[in-house]
Amino acid sequence: MSSFNDIKPPKLSPQFGSMHPINQVKDFLIDLLQGYGFTSVDGPEIESEEFNFDMLNIKKTHPARQMHDTFYVNNKTKVLRTHTSPVQIRSMLDSNPPLAITSAGKVYRKDDDATHLPMFHQVEGMYIDEQVTFSKLKDLIHKIIYAIFGQEVQIRFRPSYFPFTEPSAEVDILSESGKWLEVLGCGIVNPIVLENCNIDSNKYSGLAFGLGVERIAMLKYGVNDIRDFYKSNLDFLNQFK
Amino acid sequence: MKVAYKHLISHIPSKPSIDEISERFFQLGHEHEIEDKIFNMELTPNRGDCLSVHGLVRDLAPFYEIDLFSDIYEKELKKLDIGFVNHAPEACSHISFLKIDIEGEITPYGGELKEYFKDLNNNKKNFFTDISNYISYEMGQPTHCYDAKKIGNFFSLEIIEEEKNFHTLLEEEIVIKDRNLVFLEDEKVINLAGVVGDKNTSCSTNTKSVIIECAHFNPEEIIGKSVKYDIKSDAAHKFERGVDPLCHEKVLRRFIKIVSDHANIKNVEIYKNTFVDYSPIKISFDVEKISNILGIPNDKKSFEEYLVKLGFGIIDNTIIVPSYRNDVKNLNDIAEEIARVIGYNNIPATSFQMSPANEATDIKILEQNVKDFLIKNGFFEVINNPFVNGEEDCAIKVDNPLDSNRQFIRTNLEKSLTENLLYNERRQQDSVKLFEISDVYSIDSNLKTKKVLGIICSGRVGKNYLDFSKKINIKYIRNLIKELLPATNINPINIDRKSLNTKLKNEIIYLELKLDSLNDLDSDLISKKNRHLKEHNFIKYSPVSEFPSSSRDLSFSIKNIDKYYEIQEYLLAYKSNLIKEIFIFDFYNNQKNNEIKLGYRFIFQSKISTITESEVNNIMEDIINHTLSMDSVTIPGLSK
C-alpha cells in the first residue's frame, strides 16, 4: 500500500491562452495559399489614394472613394486602406511576372452597425503569368473552397463587378439550410491594372481573389454576430484554444 | 429597383416562367429577390443600362426573342424657341427640352401607365410627373418636368461653387455648397441637376403646360450628391451609373404618346442640342484573345451571335459598343459578356498548379514564436480597432471619424488593452492576461508603421493550487519575459487604477515592445519550421453567457489515499450545464497526520438567466453528498 509520502500532487492542467480566432483563420488561409504557391507579402495600412484606388482602376467617381465610405487621414493626404489590394500593386511594381502573392491583414471602411465593422480582415491572392485564364481561376477557387468547407460543398459562380478584375465573379456555397452564401470574390485582373503597373497586358494576364476573414470565421465557427470577435471577452476567446 | 414580372414578359413573346427568368438573371449577374411576382433587383454599379424594363429585357436577348416595341409619337415636331444656355458642356453633353400644352380633362390612367401604378403599388403625384416616373421605369432615362407657367424662357446650366438655399420639390429646405451642377434662373437654383428639382417650378395637378427636360449628365457631376444632401433620388441613382446619351428623341416621343393617350394635346415643341459629339467605343474583335481570357475553345460564330443579340455591332472585325453600355471598354469586358451568356458555371475548370511558396519571413516566424510563448503561459490574443479619442500630439487625425471618440489613430496599444482588461474584470474575471500585436502609426515617424507587442495582465497568476494565491506584479512579468528574451532590459509599467473606473486593487502591469527589436529571442524557443498547412481544427462556438457568475469553495480532508484519487476523478468528470469551471485552488499533503487537504473552487453560470441560489445549492448538495459518502472524506465544518 502506498504511503502519504508517495502521493502525487494533483495534475496541473495546462492553462493555455489562445490565438485570436480571426488570426487563426487568417493564418489557416495563408498556410493554405502558400501551399498552392502564393508567397505572403505585407503592406502598410495607411495608404495613398493612388495605390488604394487609382492604380486599381477605381475611378474618382466610384462611390467607395466618398468620405462616407473611406477613412481619410492626415488632412486627406492618405486613406486607411479599404482592401489589401494595394499590396498587390506594390508587388507588381516591385517584381516582374510570373508573380504569385497573397496579402492578408486589416482593412477599413466607414461602417459601424450590427453586420459591418469599421475594421475587418481580408486575405487576397494574385497570380500573374502568361496564359492565366478564367477556367484556371475556377480550378483554384474550387481548391480553396473545398479546403475550407470540404469536398462535398456545392459551389456557384456569379458574374459581379470589381473595377480591378474583368471578368469578375462572386462565389457562393450552398449552406445546410439550402441558402446560397457568398464567400469569395474573384476575377481576371483588368488589363488596365496590369498596364498601370508597367506589365505588358498583351503578354501577361492574371487572376485575383479575395476572402473576408470574418465571414469565413463566422461560417466555420458558427459565430452569428461579427462584433463578438472584437469584444475581447475571455469567455469567448477561451473557446478557440 | 422593383420590376414586375408581367412587365418583363410583355416584351418576351415566349413568356418564360418567373423561375426561368430568375435563373437567367442570376446567370447574368443580376442578383434579386422575388416577392408577389415583383423582382427586387440589386444590380452591380456598372450596369446602369439595366435600371429599366427595357434594359433588363435587352440583357435577356441572348436567351429569348425579345420585342422592345413601344408606341411613340411619330409626327414631325416643331422647334421649341427657348433661351437655354449650357455653361457646363463637359458636364452635360446632350440635352433636350419638350414643351407640351394640353387642354381639357385628363382621362383615368390606362394601358402601361395604369399597370405601372397598380402592379408596383406606386404613389401617384401629378399627371406629368407620373408619366416621367413611368418612362424612367420603362426606358431607364430620367426626365424632369417643370410647370411651363412657373419657369421663364431664359435659364442656364452651370457649375457653381457658392452656397445657395434650395427648396426641393420633396418639401425640404437645403443649403447646397461646394461644387454643384445646377439649373439657374435669375441666379436662383431651379434644379439640382440630375438629382431633384425645386418646389417653385415643379408640376402640380393643375399643370396644363409642361417643359420636360431630358439630359445626359456626366456621372462625375452627380455622384455623391444625393448622399450629401440626404435626398432619395431615382434619377441620381441612374445618372450616377450612366444613361444612354442617344435615347432622348425616342424617350420624349414616348412621353408625348402617353400624354396623348390621356389628354388632348394643344401644342408640342422640342429643343435638342448636343454639346459634345458621341463617338462609339470600338474594340478589335480578337476571338483568340477572348478564348484565352476565358480558357475556352475559340468559337467565333457563337461569340458573334451572343454579342449581336446583346446589341453590339460587329463591322469588319470591329466590335461597336452600343451607346447604352458605358461599362464596356476593352476585350476583357467583351469576354465577360460572352462568359455571362455561356454561364460562369458552364465554363469548365482547367488545372491550376504551382509549387509551394517560400517559407515565412523571419519577422513572421518571430511573431509566431512570441505568440506561441505567451499563449503557452496563459495569455489570450486580442485584436482592437485603431481608433482612439487621442491624447498625444503625434497621433494621426482621421479627417472623417465615425465620432469624436474615434478621431485619432492610436500610437500605442496601452489604452485599448486597458479597456479590454477592465471589460473582463467587470465580467468577474479574476485573472486577466492579454496581448496584442499590431501596427501603430504616428506623425513623428512620417506616417510610417511600427509593429508592436503589447502585454497587459492583472489578478491571479493562475487558476491552480500553485498560482492561485500569487498576484500578478512587475516581478512576474519580468521573470516571464526573461524566459523569452534573456538579454533584453524591459520596462513594464504599473498602470494607476486611480484614473480608471474600477474599484479593484490588483496591480495592472503593462509592457510594450517594438517587435523588430526582439532580436535576442531565446534560441530554444525559436523554431524556423515552415508552417505550411498546419493542422487546424475549427471548433463549434457556443455563445457566451451574458449573466453573472457565482462561485463556491469546498475544502476536503482526505485520509484514505485511494479516495484522494477518486475524488479528483469524480470532480474532473462532473458535468452540469450550470458549471462554468472547476479547479483545485489548494493542495496540502500533511504527511505527519496522514491527511490531504484539497480545496476546490466551483464557478457557476447560466446561459439563459441569472443563476439562482437554489440552482447552485442543488448542485453543491449533489457533490457534497457524493463526496461525503466516500470513506475518510470530510468537509471541515460539515458533518456527514
Find the residue in B nearest to A193 (Cα). B332
Give the A:B interface size as CB pairs under 8 Å: 286
Residues B640, B628 contacting (CB under 8 angstroms):
yes
| B295 SS3 class | coil
Bridge partners for B182 per DSSP: B158, B192
pLDDT score for B522: 63
CA torsion through residues B433, B437, B442, B445, sign: positive
Residue A64 has pLDDT above 80, yes or no: no
Chain A residues with CB inside 8 Å of B399's CB?
67, 71-76
Rounded Cα distance, B368 and B366, in Å: 5
* Least trusted range by pLDDT, from A23-32, A181-190, B356-365, B401-410: B356-365
Residues B551, A50 contacting (CB under 8 angstroms):
no
Ordered domains of chain B (ranges, CATH)? 2-59 (3.30.56.10), 78-274 (3.50.40.10), 282-346 (3.30.56.10), 362-525 (3.30.930.10), 550-634 (3.30.70.380)
Residue A51 has pLDDT above 60, yes or no: yes
Residue A68 has pLDDT above 80, yes or no: no
Percent of chain B whose predicted confidence (pLDDT) is above 70: 96
Rounded Cα distance, B353 and A98, in Å: 13
Confidence at B531, pLDDT banded by 50, 70, 90: very low
Contact A238 B379 (CB under 8 A): no
Rg of chain B in Å (alpha carbons): 37
**How high does pLDDT run on average in chain B?**
93
Residue B494 has pLDDT above 60, yes or no: yes
pLDDT score for B551: 94
Q: Which of A1, A5, A15, A182 should one mutate to test binding to chain B, selecting the residue with the greatest count of B CBs within 10 A?
A: A15
| B638 SS3 class | strand
pLDDT score for B445: 60
Q: Which of B31, B59, B229, B336 should one mutate to test binding to chain A, selecting the residue with the greatest count of A CBs within 10 A?
A: B336
Q: What is the mean pLDDT of residues B440-444?
A: 85
Chain B residues with CB inside 8 Å of A64's CB?
none
CA torsion through residues A92, A96, A97, A102, sign: negative
pLDDT score for B532: 39
Q: What is the mean pLDDT of residues B91-95?
A: 97
User: Which helix (H) or strand (E) is B130 found in, with range?
Assistant: helix B127-139
Nearest-Cα distance to chain A for B261, in Å, is 40
- Residue pLDDT, tens place only, B275-321: 999 999 999 999 999 999 999 999 999 999 999 999 999 999 999 99
- Beta-strand pair A39-41/A99-108: parallel
Read off the C-alpha cell for B560: 484514505
Nearest-Cα distance to chain B for A50, in Å, is 16
- Residue pLDDT, tens place only, B135-151: 999 999 999 999 999 99
Rounded Cα distance, B193 and B364, in Å: 53
pLDDT score for B169: 92
Specify which of B325-329, B366-370, B388-392, B529-533 reaches the highest per-range mean pLDDT.
B325-329
Q: Which of B222, B399, B411 should one mutate to test binding to chain A, selecting the residue with the greatest count of A CBs within 10 A?
A: B399
Q: What is the mean pLDDT of residues A38-67?
A: 89
Residue B378 has pLDDT above 50, yes or no: yes
Q: For B414-475, give the DSSP string.
A: HHHHHHHHHHHHHTT-SEEEEEEEEEEE-TTTTT-EEEEEEEEEEEBS-SSTTTTT-B--HH
Is the preceding peptide bond at A98 cis, omega within 30 degrees of 0?
A: yes
Report residue B380 CA to chain centroid gap: 28
For chain A, how many residues are written?
241
Rounded Cα distance, A141 and A170, in Å: 11
Rounded Cα distance, B476 and B30, in Å: 60
Nearest-Cα distance to chain B for A76, in Å, is 6
pLDDT score for B446: 66
pLDDT score for B530: 42
Residues A75, B234 contacting (CB under 8 angstroms):
no
Nearest-Cα distance to chain A for B266, in Å, is 43
Contact B220 A61 (CB under 8 A): yes
Domain borders along chain A are 18-240
CB-nearest to A7 from B357, B371, B564 is B564
Q: For B174-225, give the DSSP string.
A: EEE-SSEEEEEETTEEEEETTTEEBSTTB--TT--EEEEEEEEE-HHHHTTH
- Residue pLDDT, tens place only, A127-172: 999 999 999 999 999 999 999 999 999 999 999 999 999 999 999 9
Q: In CATH, which superfamily holds the domain spanning A18-240? A: Bira Bifunctional Protein; Domain 2 (3.30.930.10)
Of A68, A60, A62, which is closest to residue A161 (Cα–Cα)? A62
Contact A167 B591 (CB under 8 A): no
Contact B531 A31 (CB under 8 A): yes
Find the residue in A nearest to B409 (Cα). A73
Rounded Cα distance, B415 and A185, in Å: 36
Chain A residues with CB inside 8 Å of B240's CB?
61, 63
Q: Which of A154, A234, A239, A240 should one mutate to test binding to chain B, selecting the residue with the greatest count of B CBs within 10 A?
A: A234
Rounded Cα distance, B559 and B594, in Å: 6
Nearest-Cα distance to chain A for B619, in Å, is 22
Nearest-Cα distance to chain B for A226, in Å, is 12
Q: What is the mean pLDDT of residues B489-518?
A: 91
Residue A25 has pLDDT above 70, yes or no: yes
Is the preceding peptide bond at A97 cis, omega within 30 degrees of 0?
A: no
CB-nearest to A237 from B380, B595, B596 is B380
Of B561, B76, B351, B469, which is closest to residue A143 (Cα–Cα)? B351
Helix-strand-coil split of chain A, %, nearest 5 = 35, 30, 40
Q: In this structure, which amino acid lies at residue B141?
A: Q
* Least trusted range by pLDDT, from A46-55, A168-177, B363-372: B363-372
Q: What is the mean pLDDT of residues B535-555?
A: 90
pLDDT, greater one: B537 or A233: A233
Residues 6+ apart with CB under 8 A from B478: B490, B492
Rounded Cα distance, B173 and B169, in Å: 9
Rounded Cα distance, A92 and A98, in Å: 10
Contact A73 B465 (CB under 8 A): no
Q: What is the mean pLDDT of residues B619-631?
A: 94
pLDDT, greater one: B341 or B638: B341
What is the complex's ipTM, to 2 decimals? 0.95
Residue B527 has pLDDT above 60, yes or no: no
Nearest-Cα distance to chain A for B124, in Å, is 31
- Residue pLDDT, tens place only, A95-123: 999 999 999 999 999 988 888 899 999 99
pTM of the model: 0.90
Residue B155 has pLDDT above 50, yes or no: yes
Residue B545 has pLDDT above 80, yes or no: yes
* Least trusted range by pLDDT, from B85-99, B233-247, B383-397: B383-397
Contact A118 B568 (CB under 8 A): no
Residues B597, B590 contacting (CB under 8 angstroms):
yes
CB-CB neighbours of B466 under 10 Å = 14
Contact A17 B227 (CB under 8 A): no
CB-nearest to A118 from B340, B387, B432 is B387
Read off the C-alpha cell for A184: 469569395
CA–CA distances in Å: residue B237 to residues B49, B210, B225, B246: 11, 24, 10, 19
pLDDT score for A12: 87
**How high does pLDDT run on average in chain A?**
94
